Amino acid sequence: MNRPGGLPTRVGNGIVGVRDVAYAVDGVTILDQVTLQVNAGEVLAIVGPNGAGKSTLLGLLAGDMQPTAGHVEWGDGRALKDVPLADLARTRAVVLQETSVAFAFRVVEVVRMGREPWRGTQAEDDDVPAVATAMAATQVDRLAQRRYPTLSGGEKGRVAMARALAQTPSLLLLDEPTAALDINHQERALAQVRALARAGDGVLVVLHDLSAAAAYANRVAVLQAGRLACVGTPEEVLTAELLSEVYRHPIEVLRHPHTGALLVSPARGSGSAAPRELALAVCEGGSAT
């Protein structure tokens, strides 16, 4: 599908990034000294404990919030706040942690909302196939005529994902999109975003499932108390030592006996050592940005 009117997103490799950003509310610092960019062609997973600042970081990258300090930049070097909203809407889709739909719209109507940014453009011709493809990919076609508020949490999550996919964005910003999904739909959703990244899109996804992050992300960024503790490949970042410190719970990182895939699990045996108390984990493997 073509994207006339969208922004050039292949300028360099970065689509959007934050540089030295801080974000504070009522004098409380929620994010500090964070530098990170989402590249075309990658799935970047953001992980970290509750309250670490993951959703705040996603809000800054989406342009929904302005940083207290530092810069949020589009790939062509422009400040994100200077990018016209209509261009932004055609280029990036955001799935928030909680999706509220004001009226009792039918599912198909909610998914069609993803096409709104293309109204009046040549890409309007793609509306029907884009909506159909998105609904099929998330398996919400059989829910098409249901009223959104009557859906289960997982079904709502899949519809929110379908709306984002229907938008045919080049950048997807997803906040815990798999939180309410069963294993089948979690794997489908992550395989789908991985395929989009392979095709050249950029995907930032907040995840709690660290094994899923290991399996589907090209890079993983660990946020801890508003700071980036580590960024790198899953192999570099997802170590028992770092994760045990960041989550303040003993965590084991194992390898699948056949595939070698990283499997991350809380240590549950009685012999598990308590995590060491550290102010801020130091990343040994990954780079700072």
91 near Mg ion (CB under 5 A): no
- By C-beta, is 6 or 48 nearer to ligand ADP? 48
56 binds, options ligand ADP, Mg ion, none, Cβ within 5 to 8 A by partner type: ligand ADP
Distance CA 18, CA 70 (A): 8
178 near Mg ion (CB under 5 A): no
* Residue 39, beta-bridge partner list: 14
Distance CA 75, CA 72 (A): 10
Structure tokens at 268: 């549950």
- By C-beta, is 30 or 132 nearer to ligand ADP? 30
- By C-beta, is 52 or 230 nearer to Mg ion? 52
Distance CA 245, CA 279 (A): 9
169 binds, options ligand ADP, Mg ion, none, Cβ within 5 to 8 A by partner type: none
What's phi and psi for 14, nearest 5 deg?
-85, 140
User: Residues in contact with Mg ion, total (CB under 5 A)?
Assistant: 2
- By C-beta, is 55 or 211 nearer to Mg ion? 55
Name the 3-class secondary structure at 124: helix
**DSSP labels, 1-12:** ---TTPPP--SS
**Number of residues written out for the chain:** 289
131 binds, options Mg ion, ligand ADP, none, Cβ within 5 to 8 A by partner type: none
51 binds, options ligand ADP, Mg ion, none, Cβ within 5 to 8 A by partner type: ligand ADP
| Binding to ligand ADP in span 11-50, by CB under 6 A | 25, 30, 48, 50
Kindly state the DSSP code that residue 117 receives in the 8-state scheme.
Answer: G
115 binds, options ligand ADP, Mg ion, none, Cβ within 5 to 8 A by partner type: none
55 near Mg ion (CB under 5 A): yes
Distance CA 166, CA 131 (A): 5
Q: Rule CB under 5 A: which residues touch Mg ion?
A: 54-55
